Amino acid sequence: QVQLVESGGGVVQPGGALRLSCAASGFAFSDSGMHWVRQPPGRGLEWVAFIRFDGSDKHYADPVKGRFIISRDNSKNTLYLQMNNLRAEDTALYYCAKELYDSGSYDYWGRGDLVTVSS
């Protein structure tokens, strides 16, 4: 069955960096667009970034543009999110999510990985 497993989260100081990984299995990862979505504690869902199935197209939410980089390695079935110059407002549970073909919807989600930015 489809599995998405995030890792790499933790506590980091403001201005620091982290790289999240999302290991995918159970589906054709190299054929699927992938997204990162985050959820600050006690708050709603926030879309973060998208990468096309072949990595040729990427988009970012305005609050992370210029600081976060989404990438993928289809040979390893893994999605990444490099997060630089982290801010307190980046504190959230980060989910990777698989896009249902080109529908703009997310049919599978990982369990999430917590990123805490604090001094």
Whether 4 contacts 23, CB under 8 Å: yes
Q: Which one, 76 or 111, has the nearer CB to another protein?
A: 111
Quick one: which of 5, 27, 77, 109 contacts another protein (CB under 8 A)? 109
Q: How far is the CB of 27 from another protein (least distance, A)?
A: 14
Whether 83 contacts 19, CB under 8 Å: yes
Q: Which one, 4 or 18, has the nearer CB to another protein?
A: 4
Q: Which one, 59 or 76, has the nearer CB to another protein?
A: 59
Q: Which one, 28 or 100, has the nearer CB to another protein?
A: 100
CA distances from 61 to 37, 47, 58, 69, 117 (A): 10, 7, 11, 11, 19
Whether 93 contacts 38, CB under 8 Å: yes
Residues within window 29-88 making contact with another protein, judged by CB under 8 A: 35, 37, 44-47, 50, 59-62
Kindly report the backbone phi and psi dihedral angles of residue 64, in degrees, each rounded to the nearest multiple of 5, phi listed first: -115, -5
Residues within window 3-32 making contact with another protein, judged by CB under 8 A: none
Nearest to 114 by CA among 1, 13, 23, 12: 12
* Binding residues for another protein (CB under 8 A): 35, 37, 44-47, 50, 59-62, 95, 100, 103-107, 109-112
